[in-house]
């Protein structure tokens, strides 16, 4: 069996960044496995711009952002397998893949980096009742059909969910001549970034209905209409608000889930908030030398962060180290997720990322230890639930071992 | 125009069982189907379970045909390599003394019918199935219940019939019949006409409609809708038996079972409806199934978490709840096989053999000789990912397409999809490929593979991308090339 230093599963932005940083010299044996016919992952179908402002300090489209990394991968001594699907990974770090060129093959690795990205929630994840007909797409599938295959998936479109991909697709479909009738969001605030609400909906007069959801899909062979209703504060349907919208297409932009199935049998500890594995500040899972980075670790807003984290994972995967001691980070009270969940001791500084459950005008973020002592505190204004936030934590401020992040209620409501 | 000996209307489990049995004879057989593939109606959406008549009313045709049906069907499934899990057993749980009494009676009835059955204590039940609600007080147990792949069975039957020269015509909906004196002389679809000596109506939900093209009829199909939850394979080992609860007046007995594919299936409701096209799920019914069956039996299962799809199936039940099997009253050569509902899957071969006797009795076809070159078995089939490395590599060396995964959830390769497209019964719609190979049945529900399969169908068949459908006419996915789209496909 061929033995690699590092096997990276997934050739999107996370996988490419980690492969590049792991490849320090020409002796290292690094394998990057990608299931599609080209590297780049989901960036290839994201032909809009807005990528790279943090990483490259300039605004790029998805494919051009990907291309910069593809060029770097080519320059380095990285073995790349395209059209290749990993079908099994064992605890002993044996990776079995299936590929048109190499067939079914098992290899071993000293370190594995999982970077398979995420998948979209489907209609079923929301259990929208109604007919099972053609014309129901996740926003990403519609994006692939339009941007990669060059086909229009619909003429009259209703979008459920105001996630960024849905917003981007509302604009894209409109530019292609489709009528996007409305975007419905069950929450009382948009799911996507503010800039996308403005640039993709408001600029094109596409209405966004908050606290609304699709309650039924109607059609015989293809979608003919959807039934929509407003929901109350408990997300219960308000019967009197039911309304039928005729359309031939329903796009779902209702959230993303890390694609963790490949390693589900490895008994890596998982985080029920991120739906991904528990990771440390080097993106390492609870199994030594097994890493998760990019959207398989947790769903990101910005590819730039993915690239930064991939780099960290690649560097750490090369290192040899003894046993690691940890601080743990949990969250409660208005914090919906925190990353990383474990901090390797003696690293001086840590970047802590988190999401909050709703929009806050004026609030206070508090990190406490197991004794209730405040380790970090920050007063914050205009904290949005649509974006991930972060702060830098200095190790010399940390006392105790078990940290917990929480957020106070809106201070001006008190 | 070619004149067939026997023409079957409908390619569901009954039509395909008939085709399979008839194809043994040296006859010209054809099957007309209005959708794009076999197993498109009740055959694809049911409880996927075989039993030998637990709770079928004695004296009915339903009871008659299911009796001793298992051996017949098992032999066929083995020959055709249809997946099934024999005798995984049924556990019906009781939550109170009243229910336990009913189950004791069910046990007595089963024993009387020669079936195996016994009552389990609470402890015995929980030992067999630790995830069952610990609030039960006991259970009924019968080992003779099996789970199968219903559409796999139907596809295998149809493919075997095809290997034995049966002609299948898809997207052909019968819209009228022509009679001369006391015979049907042709059936017409929107596009074509077909002639045969004997016609068999196995049109499922529409068997009353088709029968009424021939004569005034005294039966009526009243669809009964059953809705289901399908859970991710992660949850497939939550139970190892078919678990059921007794009905409570509002609902009939519902079940949770491990499917042959490793998923968990839960359902179903049983609501009589009027609209034969109403295959939609409803929030109310799904809520009811979750409360009355799923969470009641297996409290750890969530309403949403792990649910990969919900679907509905329409059983083609006749208003009097029994099968209608027999010759039409006013013509000699037209046989109705209607109202086939549970346990129709178990009984399909038994029914088909009985119908062949009816065909013989019509004397419309003189010779019933067995074919000389009859092909009894289908070629064995193994999924690529189930092969060992050497077996897989032998195949991939010959054809690299077997090394390229298209459906990521169910791990189906491009080579397998191309084979299905060119198989003896070509799968050229998305639903056909789904039923044949399970592409799109996994947790992403086609999110990753739909677009790729559309393209492969296009490349292999030359069908324009925008003409590729989910199933019937009108179920197209793509509207037109985009403004900047690659027009090379046109």
DSSP B414-439: HHHHHHHHTSSS---SHHHHHHHH-T
Whether pLDDT at A352 is above 50: yes
What's the rounded mean pLDDT across residues A81-109? 95
**A326: exposed, middle or buried (Cβ count in 10 Å: 0-12, 13-18, 19+):** middle
By Cβ distance, the residue of A125, A134, A149 closest to B455 is A149
The reported pLDDT for the residue numbered B46 is 86
Among A100, A106, A155, beta carbon nearest to B479? A155
Measured between beta carbons, the chain A residues lying within 8 angstroms of B440 are none
**Long-range pairs of A1-5 with CB within 8 A, sequence gap ≥ 24:** A1/A94, A1/A106, A1/A107, A1/A108, A2/A107, A2/A108, A3/A29, A3/A107, A3/A108, A3/A109, A3/A110, A4/A29, A4/A30, A4/A31, A4/A107, A4/A108, A4/A109, A4/A110, A5/A29, A5/A30, A5/A109, A5/A110, A5/A111, A5/A318
Which residue intervals of chain A bear CATH 2.60.40? 328-413
Which pLDDT value is given to residue B252? Answer: 64
Axis crossing angle, helix B414-421 with helix B430-437, rounded to the nearest 10: 120
At A412 the pLDDT is: 66
Tell me what percent of the residues of chain B surpass a pLDDT of 70: 97
Overall CATH class of domain A328-413: mainly beta
Q: What is the mean pLDDT of residues A216-243?
A: 93
Q: Does pTM surpass 0.90?
A: yes
Q: Do A125 and B307 touch (CB under 8 A)?
A: yes
> What six digits make up the tokens of A151?
């086909």
pLDDT of residue A219: 93
Write the pLDDT tens digit of every residue in B284-329.
Answer: 899 999 999 999 999 999 988 888 888 899 999 999 989 999 999 9
- Taking the CA atoms of chain A, what radius of gyration do you get in angstroms? 22
Q: End-to-end distance of chain B based on CA atoms, in angstroms?
A: 34
Report how many Cβ contacts below 8 Å link chain A to chain B: 169
| pLDDT of B148 above 60 | yes
3-class DSSP assignment, residue B450: helix
Q: Is the pLDDT confidence value at A410 over 80? A: no
Residue A128 pLDDT: 84
Q: What is the DSSP letter of A57?
A: S
Per-residue pLDDT averaged across B40-57, rounded? 82
Q: Are B350 and B72 in contact (CB under 8 A)?
A: yes
Q: Which of B282, B445, B469 sits opposite A134 (nearest CB)?
A: B469
Residue A108, burial from CB neighbour count under 10 angstroms (0-12, 13-18, 19+): middle
pLDDT of B38 higher than 50: yes
Question: Is A288 in CB contact (< 8 Å) with chain B?
Answer: no
Per-residue pLDDT band at B113 (split at 50, 70, 90): confident
Q: Do B405 and A218 touch (CB under 8 A)?
A: no
Give the chain A residue nearest B429 (alpha carbons): A134
C-alpha to C-alpha distances, A215 to A93, A128, A364, B242, nearest whole angstrom:
45, 6, 37, 32
Give phi and psi for B35, each to the nearest 5. Answer: -95, -170
* Domains of chain B with bracketed CATH: 3-46+150-220+319-362 (3.50.50.60), 85-147+222-315 (3.30.9.10), 384-489 (1.10.10.1100)
Cβ distance of A119 and B403 shorter than 8 Å: no
Whole-number Å distance between alpha carbons of B18 and B180: 25
User: Average pLDDT, stretch B107-130?
Assistant: 90
Per-residue pLDDT at A205: 95
Q: Given a cut of 80, is residue B250 above it in pLDDT? A: no
Percent of chain A with pLDDT over 90: 80
> Measured between CB atoms, which of B308, B403, B451 is closest to A145?
B451
Q: Do B280 and A222 touch (CB under 8 A)?
A: no
pLDDT exceeds 90 at position A293 = yes
Q: What is the share, in percent, of chain B residues with pLDDT greater than 90?
A: 74
Instruction: State the number of CA atoms in the 13 A half-sphere of A151 facing the CB.
Output: 23
Say whether residue A235 is in contact with chain B using an 8 A CB cutoff.
no
Supply the pLDDT for residue B442.
Answer: 81
Report the residue from A132, A151, A221 with minimal CB separation from B482.
Answer: A151
On the question of pLDDT at B107 being above 50, the answer is: yes
Considering only CB atoms, which chain B residues are within 8 Å of A166?
none
pLDDT at B253: 78
| Predicted pLDDT of residue A191 | 87
- Helices vs. strands in chain B: H and E counts, helices first: 14, 23
What's the Cα-to-Cα distance from A300 to each of A258, A282, B296, rounded to whole Å?
10, 16, 38
Chain B residues in contact with A218 by the CB 8 A cut-off are 280
Enumerate the H helices of A145-215 as residue ranges: 164-175, 194-196
Q: CB distance A127–B286 less than 8 Å? A: yes
Contact B281 A177 (CB under 8 A): no
What would the two tokens of residue A304 be? 């730039």
Angstroms from B41 CA to nearest CA on chain A: 13
Answer with the residue of higher pLDDT: A26 or A299: A299
Provide CATH 3.50.50.60 ranges for chain A: 3-119+257-322, 122-254
- Of residues B61 and A124, more confidently modeled: B61
Question: Is residue A145 predicted with pLDDT exceeding 70?
Answer: yes
Give the nearest partner residue to B447 out of A83, A120, A264, using CB atoms: A120
From residue B251, alpha-carbon distances to B110, B247, B291, B294, B301 in Å are: 22, 5, 11, 13, 20
Q: Is A119 on the interface with B (CB under 8 A)?
A: yes
- β-pair type (A136-138, A151-152): unpaired
CB contact under 8 A, B389 and A87: no
Catalytic residues of B, which ones? 51
If you average pLDDT over every residue of chain B, what do you get? 91
Q: What pLDDT is stored for residue B360 in this prediction?
A: 96
At residue B229, does pLDDT exceed 90?
yes
Q: Give residues 173 to 212 of A whose Cβ lies within 8 Å of B.
A: 176-177
In this predicted model, what pLDDT tens digit does every residue of B15-35 receive, in sequence order?
A: 999 999 999 999 999 999 999
Across the interface, whether the CB atoms of B485 and A150 are under 8 A apart is answered yes
Mean pLDDT estimate for chain A: 93
pLDDT bucket at A247, cuts 50 / 70 / 90: very high
- Which tops the pLDDT comparison, A323 or A7? A7
For B308, the closest chain A residue by CA position comes to: A124
A 375-404 residues with CB below 8 A of B? none
Q: Which chain A residue has its CA at the smallest distance from B401's CA?
A: A100
Which of A99, A138, A215 lies closest to B403 in CB terms? A99
Residue B222: predicted pLDDT: 94
Enumerate residues 6+ apart whose C-beta is below 8 A from A299: A118, A255, A256, A257, A258, A274, A276
Q: How confident is the model at residue B489 (pLDDT cuts 50, 70, 90)?
A: very low
Nearest CA in chain A to B302: A125
Cross-strand pairs, B462 = none
Pick the CATH number of A3-119+257-322 from 3.30.70.3270, 3.30.460.80, 3.50.50.60, 3.40.50.720: 3.50.50.60
- A328 touching B (Cβ < 8 Å): no
- A145 interaction partners in chain B (CB closer than 8 Å): 451, 477-478
pLDDT digits (tens, 9 = 90+) for B383-432: 898 899 999 999 999 999 999 999 988 899 999 999 999 999 999 999 99
Least confident of A194-208, A250-264, B44-58, B166-180: B44-58
Considering the domain A122-254 in this protein, what is its CATH number?
3.50.50.60
Task: Please state, in angstroms and as integers, the Cα–Cα distance from residue B336 to each residue in A100, A121, B187, B325, following that order.
Answer: 50, 45, 14, 6
Residue B169 C-alpha, separation from nearest chain A C-alpha, in angstroms:
20
Q: Residue A133: list chain B partners with CB under 8 A.
A: 470, 475
pLDDT at A252: 93
Is A116 in contact with A110 (CB distance < 8 Å)? no
Distant-in-sequence contacts of A92-95, Cβ < 8 A, 24+ apart:
A93/A7, A93/A289, A93/A290, A94/A1, A95/A7, A95/A9, A95/A33
Residues of B in contact with A101 (CB under 8 A): 400, 403
Question: Is A155 within 8 Å of chain B by CB?
Answer: yes
Q: How far apart are CA B222 and CA A397, in angstroms?
A: 73
pLDDT tens sequence across A104-129: 999 999 999 999 999 988 766 566 88
Positive/negative CA dihedral, B209, B211, B213, B215: negative
Question: Residue B54 is encoded by which pair of tokens?
Answer: 């637990």
Q: Is the pLDDT score of B248 beyond 80?
A: no
* Residue B53: predicted pLDDT: 67
Q: What is the C-alpha to C-alpha distance for residues A7 and A34, in angstroms, rounded to an integer? A: 11
Instruction: Give the mutation candidate from B267, B278, B401, B403 for the A interface (greatest A CB count, under 10 A).
Output: B403
Q: Nearest C-alpha of chain A: how many angstroms from B401? A: 6
Picking from B280, B403, B473, the nearest residue to A130 by CB comes out as B280
What tokens does B296 get?
Answer: 């009641």
Give the length of chain A.
414
Q: Considering only residues 52 to 81 of chain A, which have any Cβ-Cβ distance to chain B shorter than 8 Å? A: none
pLDDT tens digits, one per residue of B434-454: 999 989 888 778 878 898 999
Bridge partners for A384 per DSSP:
none
pLDDT at A124: 61
Q: CB distance A98–B277 less than 8 Å?
A: no
Q: Which residues of A are less than 8 Å from B464 in CB distance?
A: none
Rounded to 10 degrees, what is the CA torsion of B162, B167, B171, B176? Answer: -140
What confidence category does residue B251 fall into, taking pLDDT thresholds of 50, 70 and 90? low
Cβ contact (<8 Å) for B451 and A87?
Answer: no
Buried/exposed B366-404: b ≥16 CB within 10 Å, e otherwise? eeeeeeeeeeeebeeeeebbebeeeebbebbeeebbbbb
**Interface with A, mutate which of B388, B477, B480, B487 (most A CBs under 10 A):** B477
Per-residue pLDDT, B50: 87
Residues of B with CB below 8 A from A216's CB? Answer: 280, 282-283
The pLDDT value given to residue A132? 85
Residue A275 has pLDDT above 60, yes or no: yes
pLDDT at B55 over 90: no
CB contact under 8 A, A85 and B389: no
């Amino acid at each position: 069996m061929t033995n690699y230093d590092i096997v990276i599963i997934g050739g999107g932005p996370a996988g490419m960044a980690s492969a590049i940083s792991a490849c320090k010299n020409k002796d290292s044996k690094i394998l990057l496995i990608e299931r599609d016919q080209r590297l780049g992952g989901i960036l290839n179908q994201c032909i809009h711009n807005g990528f790279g402002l943090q990483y490259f300090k300039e605004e790029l489209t998805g494919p051009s952002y990907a291309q910069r990394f593809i060029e770097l991968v080519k320059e380095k001594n990285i073995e790349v397998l395209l059209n290749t699907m990993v079908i099994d990974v064992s605890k002993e770090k044996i990776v079995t893949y299936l590929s048109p060129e190499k067939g079914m093959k098992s290899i071993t690795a000293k370190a594995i980096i999982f970077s398979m990205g995420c998948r979209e929630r489907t209609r079923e994840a929301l259990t929208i009742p109604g007919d099972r007909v053609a014309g129901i797409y996740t926003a990403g599938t519609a994006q692939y059909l339009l941007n990669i295959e060059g086909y229009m998936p619909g003429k009259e479109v209703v979008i459920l969910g105001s996630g960024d991909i849905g917003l981007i697709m509302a604009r894209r479909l409109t530019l292609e001549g489709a009528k996007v009738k409305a975007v419905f969001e069950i929450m009382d605030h948009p799911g996507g970034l503010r800039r996308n609400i403005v640039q993709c909906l408001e600029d094109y007069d596409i209405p966004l209905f908050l606290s609304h959801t699709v309650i039924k899909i109607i059609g015989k062979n293809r979608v003919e209409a959807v039934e929509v209703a407003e929901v109350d504060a408990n997300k219960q349907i308000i019967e009197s608000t039911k309304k039928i919208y005729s359309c031939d297409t329903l796009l779902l932009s209702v959230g993303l889930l890390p694609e963790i199935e490949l390693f589900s049998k490895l008994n890596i500890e998982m985080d029920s908030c991120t739906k991904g594995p528990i990771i440390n500040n080097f993106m390492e899972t609870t199994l030594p030398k097994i890493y998760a980075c990019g959207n398989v670790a947790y769903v990101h807003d910005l590819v730039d962060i993915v690239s930064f984290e991939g780099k960290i994972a690649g560097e750490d995967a090369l290192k040899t180290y003894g046993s690691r001691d940890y601080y743990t980070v949990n969250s409660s009270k208005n914090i919906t997720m925190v990353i990383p969940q474990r901090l390797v001791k003696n690293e001086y500084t840590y970047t802590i990322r988190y999401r909050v459950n709703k929009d806050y005008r004026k609030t206070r973020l508090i990190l406490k230890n197991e004794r209730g002592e405040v380790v970090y505190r920050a007063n914050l204004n205009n904290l949005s639930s649509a974006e991930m936030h972060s702060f830098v934590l200095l190790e010399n401020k940390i006392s105790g071992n078990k940290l917990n992040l929480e957020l106070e209620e809106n201070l001006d409501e008190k | 125009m070619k004149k067939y000996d026997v023409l079957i209307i409908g390619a569901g489990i009954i039509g395909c069982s008939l085709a399979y049995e008839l194809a043994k004879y040296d006859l010209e057989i054809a099957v007309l189907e209005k959708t794009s593939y076999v197993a498109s109606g009740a055959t694809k959406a049911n409880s996927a379970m075989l039993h030998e008549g637990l709770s079928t009313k004695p004296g009915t045709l339903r009871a008659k045909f299911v009796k001793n049906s298992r051996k017949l069907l098992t032999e066929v499934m083995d020959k055709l390599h249809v997946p099934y899990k024999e005798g995984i057993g049924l556990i019906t749980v009781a939550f109170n003394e009243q229910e336990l009494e009913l189950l004791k009676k069910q046990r007595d009835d089963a024993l009387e019918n020669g079936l195996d059955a016994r009552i389990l204590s609470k402890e015995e039940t929980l030992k067999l199935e630790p995830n069952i609600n610990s609030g039960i007080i006991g259970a009924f147990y019968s080992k003779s219940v099996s789970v199968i792949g219903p559409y796999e069975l139907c596809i295998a039957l149809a493919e075997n019939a095809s290997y034995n020269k049966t002609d299948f015509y898809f997207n052909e909906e019968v819209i009228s019949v022509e009679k001369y004196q006391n015979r049907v002389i042709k059936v017409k679809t929107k596009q074509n006409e077909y002639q045969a000596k004997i016609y068999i109506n196995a049109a499922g939900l529409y068997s009353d409609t088709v029968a009424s093209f021939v004569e005034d009829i005294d039966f009526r199909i009243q669809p009964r809708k059953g809705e289901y939850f399908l859970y991710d394979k992660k949850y497939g080992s939550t139970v190892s038996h078919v678990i059921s609860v007794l009905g409570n007046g509002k609902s009939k007995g519902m079940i949770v079972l491990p499917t042959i594919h490793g998923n968990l299936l839960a359902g179903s409701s049983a609501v009589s409806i009027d609209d034969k096209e109403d295959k939609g799920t409803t929030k109310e019914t799904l809520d009811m199934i979750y409360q009355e069956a799923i969470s009641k039996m297996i409290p750890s299962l969530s309403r949403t978490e792990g649910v990969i799809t919900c679907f509905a199936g329409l059983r083609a039940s006749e208003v009097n709840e029994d099968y209608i099997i027999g010759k039409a009253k006013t013509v000699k050569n037209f046989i109705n096989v209607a109202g086939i509902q549970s346990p129709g899957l178990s009984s399909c071969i038994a029914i088909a053999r009985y119908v062949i006797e009816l065909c013989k009795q019509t004397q419309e076809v003189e010779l019933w000789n067995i074919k000389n070159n009859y092909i009894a078995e289908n070629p064995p089939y193994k999924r690529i990912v189930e092969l060992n490395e050497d077996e897989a590599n032998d195949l991939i060396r010959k054809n690299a397409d077997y090394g390229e995964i298209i459906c990521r959830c169910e791990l189906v390769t491009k080579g397998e999809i191309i084979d299905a497209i060119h198989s003896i019964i070509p799968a050229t719609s998305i639903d056909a490929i789904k039923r044949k190979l399970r592409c799109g049945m996994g947790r992403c529900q086609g999110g990753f593979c739909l677009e790729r399969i559309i393209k492969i169908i296009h490349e292999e068949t030359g069908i324009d991308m925008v003409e590729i459908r989910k199933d019937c006419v009108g179920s197209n996915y793509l509207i037109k090339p985009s403004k900047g789209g690659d027009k090379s496909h046109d």
